[in-house]
Structure 1
């Protein structure tokens, strides 16, 4: 593991303990051949593999661990429209027309996520609704402006709830109002990843676990090499995100793995859980260092939001998460966090998605910036379209300019930690 890769807690997530043991898939041994070789069995890689197999391609997926071991199986589970940066940033990067297209693509990505769950019978606890909540007056103004902008530019309906309306469904006095999106929602991320893997295998995809790729062989007929084998292909898809680890240095220099952390309470019982979030929606505040939370099917509160830009878990992680949870819900003073876990998300300098081609036969997608439950599936669909000869949507993303993180491998984290300290201070002061 590179020296600057975030170190996640060794404890398993609540997601792993809430599901039956996973299917066992053999590692790659020897030499294989495929139309498309995919690095990574997360949402992007699995969705691309499924879409390509349904088009008649022979696809092999190589996963370093097990399906969903990365961010796809450890995230907060909130599925939203848009990307990791706000629409104004995309307009600055691409112009009005292309930024509008990207929003339309993301809306389609959320719709396709729900269709995929239904079509393949994936039992992943989907629930409708997401609220972005404000703690300060400036955030109220920003959310109201976002509501108006989404309606005017995109015809996208968001609902403003004042403090009294929000308090009807959210038992916290911390927030001044909310922007509610009924089309967004949340799911069990690991159950969704495993469901995608089953759907892909049913479509004919070959999936090898415990097969970390050690080298990408470039050229007109690229190959992915592991310690025990290789897959020669016509096309390669790099969907490792924060876990590329030296495979493509030009991608890694434009992406930084950041640690993020979640806790799950003990079961609260249905009555006490419903008293916290009456409509079952997911919630996130709009601070730079945000909190987000939702209920699980077995009536736990899942609460996350800490981030580590230093490559080390925050000190006193469990106690810090519990303190933040009780600031939102003081009525949980007697409730413990039974599980605490973390993982790495991939961020770009501009927080915009970084999708495109390294070469005519090598495709990639990264830079989901903590906003990937819906957009990573969109990326998989768009990469599959491009490989099948329909590259119009990928070409829009490829026009986004991405710069390397300053400081190189030695200094890029210290510089980012300093910058993030300013944003956290802003959250506290105004």
Structure 2
């Protein structure tokens, strides 16, 4: 995500509608001096905060150190969509890793969304939670693929899916672009920055401590590992590394197996309530079925939040709205005179397999990263699993850590152009409908 532009109303965050409308804009102190805790967590995004809350609820003393602000990265800048599952379907996971692994991941695949809803209710988090998601198809081929995915999902207990005919698309999106699609009643959307801020406040209410502007400069392994920042350090029994796409350079064993990828988002001016309700009558979030997809939804204050585009290596386009606005107008030409109030970009961590990468650097140092574009739900699940692992229940961690991760071909020099070539190929297949 872009780091040279910050929010005027919420310093240290990207200039997003989320930062502008955040419920909690207080800046937490940096780490100064020497502290100790049962667990030190690196990174205050969804993964780190989810793990911290799981541990704090179980009585552990927890310290979270964050290089910027809580929710600074993808957790506070994404499209805000609760999308169940992973970036690769369960059949692909079965082919790669075996049916037993696919079955295990299938049992967990709806849990991320359930964790979000449970915590929102338990801690009274105000994050504009709305149920329902719509997957929009451009072609008959994409519709057939959705129907196949639906049948497979249902074998794993997902009972919230329904196919949508072309004649019924208008119930979810008043656009002429789509040939049909599928709804997920267990999907939904939220204000992601307010969600992670609310979860962070819940951690603190249970005695956890969170330090912002405390970038980690060194991690020393040992019986009691030490996490060092420029002004302090934390000695802990366990360390959880949850830096994701913004953890450049610290731990090559992790970062060499992921690539930062940027996505662009914008939010319109506030629209007339009836006008935006006509665009998205069910108030479901929407994502299309293309390889490089668009995603959009209504906000609580009646804006259209629209995202898309992709920048491998984390590179931002010079003109954010120039990338997204043309696609928005293809979808909703009735917005041609609407102003754009906010535009921002942000990085998520992509793995070569498009499957999250979990593992351990030592017997008491664990990590999770690489949610590959499905992070809102998956980070909540994997953060909880990290907490379970520290608490002595590692069976689910063992499943995830057994899934082999690989470095990108071409190394740091050629991984971006090679990945771009692959994306171009799949993009052409979308355009040609093959």
Deviations 1:82-116 (A, max 9, x none): 11222222112221122122122121222121001
In the alignment, the residues of structure 1 paired with residue 342 and residue 48 of structure 2 have an alpha-carbon distance, to the nearest angstrom, of 28
Moved more, 308-317 or 366-375: 308-317
Please give the secondary structure, in 1, of the residue aligned with 2:110: helix
Partner of 2:111: 108
Cα deviation, residue 428, structure 1: 1.2
Q: Is the 8 A contact 2:107 2:156 kept in 1?
A: no
Q: Is the 8 A contact 2:241 2:367 kept in 1?
A: yes
> For 1:68-107, what aligned pairs fall within 5 Å after superposition?
68-107=71-110
Partner of 2:335: 332
Cα deviation, residue 37, structure 1: 0.4
> For 1:193-208, what aligned pairs fall within 5 Å after superposition?
193-208=196-211
In the alignment, the residues of structure 1 paired with residue 31 and residue 161 of structure 2 have an alpha-carbon distance, to the nearest angstrom, of 47
Cα RMSD (Å) of the superposition?
Answer: 1.3
Please give the secondary structure, in 2, of the residue aligned with 1:246: coil
| Runs of 4+, deviation exceeding 3 Å | 6-9, 152-157
Partner of 2:22: 19
> For 1:58-207, what aligned pairs fall within 5 Å after superposition?
58-207=61-210
Cα deviation, residue 397, structure 1: 0.4
Q: Is the 8 A contact 2:126 2:195 kept in 1?
A: yes
Cα deviation, residue 157, structure 1: 3.5
Please give the secondary structure, in 1, of the residue aligned with 2:373: coil
Partner of 2:379: 376
State TM-score, norm by structure 2: 0.95
Partner of 1:213: 216
Give the number of aligned pairs: 425
Moved more, 261-270 or 93-102: 93-102
Partner of 1:30: 33
Deviations 1:37-65 (A, max 9, x none): 00001111111111111111111000111
In the alignment, the residues of structure 2 paired with residue 336 and residue 181 of structure 1 have an alpha-carbon distance, to the nearest angstrom, of 31
In the alignment, the residues of structure 2 paired with residue 246 and residue 158 of structure 1 have an alpha-carbon distance, to the nearest angstrom, of 42
Cα deviation, residue 154, structure 1: 3.5
Partner of 1:346: 349
In the alignment, the residues of structure 1 paired with residue 219 and residue 321 of structure 2 have an alpha-carbon distance, to the nearest angstrom, of 39
Partner of 2:400: 397
In the alignment, the residues of structure 2 paired with residue 169 and residue 260 of structure 1 have an alpha-carbon distance, to the nearest angstrom, of 24
Deviations 1:165-196 (A, max 9, x none): 12233210110111100011010000001101
Cα deviation, residue 24, structure 1: 2.4
Cα deviation, residue 21, structure 1: 5.3
Cα deviation, residue 413, structure 1: 1.4
Cα deviation, residue 335, structure 1: 1.0
Please give the secondary structure, in 1, of the residue aligned with 2:49: helix
Q: Is the 8 A contact 1:266 1:300 kept in 2?
A: yes
Q: Is the 8 A contact 2:24 2:194 kept in 1?
A: no
> For 1:201-280, what aligned pairs fall within 5 Å after superposition?
201-280=204-283
Cα deviation, residue 311, structure 1: 3.4
1:10 paired to 2:13: no
Q: Is the 8 A contact 1:9 1:342 kept in 2?
A: no
Partner of 2:10: none
Q: Is the 8 A contact 1:100 1:154 kept in 2?
A: no
Cα deviation, residue 118, structure 1: 0.4
Please give the secondary structure, in 1, of the residue aligned with 2:109: helix
In the alignment, the residues of structure 1 paired with residue 25 and residue 419 of structure 2 have an alpha-carbon distance, to the nearest angstrom, of 37
State TM-score, norm by structure 1: 0.96
Q: Is the 8 A contact 1:310 1:414 kept in 2?
A: no
Partner of 1:313: 316
Cα deviation, residue 370, structure 1: 1.1
